[in-house]
Structure 1
């Protein structure tokens, strides 16, 4: 074993995150993706969101990130959310081991009927729905929720109210802020995006390493989701260990 690999092992063991623990868990990450279909999202924007996610999942870099450690894969679940009691699963938990699995997910996303809820924005409710899904889902080393949204919470418990909620313990929540509507221009658009990013960073995201990605409108959703998935799924240290130990 070279010095570099020994150093990597030492870092892993010091953090209590050995590969043996990963193998026992069966998967390295449970990743839930929550898509905003509240009243502010029209049918065209919803289509852009779904198609953008489907394309992002099939981008070569994202496929490679999913396939990096096939023996310790990623489990994926996708749902839509709007009002406090309004969530719908688009893709139940699936263990992703190959591109074929991601093709199946993308096909399912594109074929699912588009339902307009007309409801308000319940980010807190969306987080609690994911927490229940994680409890029923696979036992993975990490649990990550990816919440996309174009507005602030206005229904049910706010994300701030859930800051100490034990149901969300152990779940990292990242945000994908979808910027101002196409009618906004210049300073107005920048102000809207800046305000919403600040809201997500202060109130929505949580957990070690949590972050916020930004899409400049639903037209930019695909590229932003691709960047976000790569950042969430890539585990360079574990990948190096995995391949070095083989």
Structure 2
């Protein structure tokens, strides 16, 4: 299987609110069509399609979209994939229906459209497989959040999404912005106990190193973004680089 990190997450908050730059991963199994894990944010549509095109993948070739949870920065671009089968846990659907107005990160109006595609498969239970790729329910941030757990190149990988948003949550085993504090801690502990490599929801790729009974984290990447702003100097735009 090929694993391509289309977007790393970036933890950022501005005076206008959270930036919502989340991770997004393309999985290409040895057999079957490509799977997208999460879809990034609405403002990243052009960049998402461009990144897929550079890998030789058209949006219509995506066979499935695994939506970790139904927050705006992870789910809203599902309409780009008009031939894909969508996967979402039934606990997340219940959360959308019951708490879609209280959890302001939920684009509640979009769920009915997703359901209306006729291509939504609801997951049930605590674990399972989609296209042969194992998933587990990792609740806390939302009740129905799911992460992918799989072996790749001899290592245990977890695409954690917001079950572990950043390295600080992995280190402390405490999550910010969570629906259930205790459930988040248990999910983070389960991820740390199994994973060698964690793709976080709003940070980079983290390696979990175990030595003589001690566990520590080794960031493998440093998330960075470039922001282009108008400039009056020589008519050239100003480019600001932000790094974690």
Normalised TM-score (structure 1): 0.28
Tell which has more relative contact order, 1 or 2 (C-alpha 8 A, sep 6+): 1
Normalised TM-score (structure 2): 0.29
Structure with the bigger percentage of strand: 2
Structure with the bigger percentage of helix: 1
